[in-house]
Chains A and B, each alone.
Chain A
Amino acid sequence: AQKITQTQPGMFVQEKEAVTLDCTYDTSDPSYGLFWYKQPSSGEMIFLIYQGSYDQQNATEGRYSLNFQKARKSANLVISASQLGDSAMYFCAMIGQAGTALIFGKGTTLSVSS
């Protein structure tokens, strides 16, 4: 069975600082994908970044980067230069080889202050 673990219920950071949101996963699939989504108070799910299990390099998308450590089964999200608009709930998710539904972690609420 697949499982995503996010151990930080809430994180606080000041504007312009970097922040790391933790995510560990467990799966028996040899091929899988890892995702991070942002969910603001409006409820929409905003795709941030994707990492494939066979990707050699860590994924980056603008201010977002994914620190993928396959041996440790971790896929932490790093947000550089935090902005007030980054305040939201962040979910780590996984999809397995069968291409079924995304499995989500419990989420981390990020609060950015000025």
Chain B
Amino acid sequence: GAVVSQHPSWVICKSGTSVKIECRSLDFQATTMFWYRQFPKQSLMLMATSNEGSKATYEQGVEKDKFLINHASLTLSTLTVTSAHPEDSSFYICSARDTSGANPSTDTQYFGPGTRLTVL
């Protein structure tokens, strides 16, 4: 099946620094990628939809100036957590849609392995 990679898989940083997380679709083009956030023992919460060549669409309550998303190519989306604080510590997961099918409802979404962010 299709593969989505994320880098880094884990990162520890000091409060106030910025962290960039990359999400790559390795064997298909993804015009749309999604960024999720997951706290321990909770569900995945959608943060934003990343569209290649245009601005990301953020979910209500997600600060777009804090979580910068760039989708510069059909295979790469990046999430930058700016001025990270301990409350930003979480598991961040991206997914990419393979839109080669004719029916959007059956588009397969492939998940990256996730990035565990710890802010000290």
Q: Which residues of A contact B (CB under 8 A)?
A: 29, 31-33, 37, 42-45, 47, 50, 52-53, 89, 91, 95-107, 109
Write the nearest CB–CB distance from B34 to chain A, whole angstroms. 5
Contact indicator per residue, chain B 82-117, by CB within 8 Å of chain A (1) or not (0): 000000000101010101000111111111011010
Contact of A102 (CB < 8 Å), options: B1, B41, B109: B109
Q: Which residues of chain B are within 8 angstroms of A37 by Cβ–Cβ distance?
A: 111
Extra contacts besides A95-B109, A105-B43, A109-B41 (17): CB < 8 Å: A31-B103, A33-B106, A43-B93, A44-B113, A45-B93, A45-B111, A47-B110, A47-B111, A95-B105, A97-B105, A98-B104, A102-B46, A102-B109, A104-B44, A106-B43, A107-B42, A107-B43
| Chain B residue with the shortest CB-CB distance to A44 | B113
Q: Give the complex CA separation of A106 and B45 in angstroms.
A: 10
25 A-B residue pairs with CB within 8 Å: A33-B106, A43-B38, A43-B93, A43-B113, A44-B114, A45-B44, A45-B93, A45-B95, A45-B111, A47-B110, A50-B106, A95-B104, A95-B109, A97-B104, A98-B104, A99-B107, A100-B49, A101-B109, A102-B34, A102-B44, A102-B109, A104-B43, A104-B44, A107-B42, A109-B41
Q: How many A-B residue pairs have CB under 8 A?
A: 66
Q: Which residues of chain A are within 8 angstroms of B38 by Cβ–Cβ distance?
A: 43
B contact residues, total (Cβ < 8 Å): 26
Docked-complex contact B42 and A99, CB < 8 angstroms: no
Q: Which residues of chain A are within 8 angstroms of B99 by Cβ–Cβ distance?
A: 99
Q: Which residues of chain B are within 8 angstroms of A95 by Cβ–Cβ distance?
A: 104-105, 107, 109
Which 6 A-B residue pairings sit nearest by Cβ, starting from the closest?
Answer: A99-B104, A45-B111, A43-B114, A101-B34, A33-B105, A104-B43
